[in-house]
Amino acid sequence: MSHWSINYLGKTYIKGENDCWTVFCDVQNNVFDRNIQDLAFGTINELSTRKEFLNNPLRQRFKEVRIPVDGCAVFMSKGKYTSHIGTYLNIGEGRVLHCIEYSGTVIQSLSDLKAYGWNIVGFFEVE
């Protein structure tokens, strides 16, 4: 039996339509039934995106956890600030489903994320 995440693999990155946030929302809504609304980040820059998310009431539904479970949000960065989100998959030693420019939707192990320059900022359960 295949894992539900296989249905997301290989989808092309399209900013505002199929990017890290829209894939995260789709997974939360359709796999985990969490009703996360799209915040339309596609048309704004990274700094504005961070500010929009941090000031949005939706942010209050994200509670940081030490040990992730299937479906947790994974906040990531490649620098000082959080700039990316994915969904934790409880497969093997842990994997993350996320959508990145040039590669589209991929699944990577936690160690592969680090090898590709992603730092995990934290794991968050979504209420």
The predicted structure's pLDDT at residue 53: 67
Right CATH for 4-126 from 3.30.930.10, 3.90.1720.10, 3.40.50.880, 3.40.50.300: 3.90.1720.10
The predicted structure's pLDDT at residue 99: 96
| Mean pLDDT split into 10-residue runs, the chain, 127 residues | 87 90 93 82 57 72 94 91 91 95 95 94 93
The predicted structure's pLDDT at residue 30: 95
Residue 22 phi, psi (nearest 5)? -70, -35
State the maximum Cα–Cα separation within the chain, in Å, rounded to a whole number: 41
Strand order in the sheet with 119-126: 62-65, 119-126, 73-77, 82-89, 95-100, 104-109
DSSP summary character for residue 110:
H
The predicted structure's pLDDT at residue 60: 83
C-alpha distances out from residue 94 to 39, 97, 113, Å: 27, 10, 11
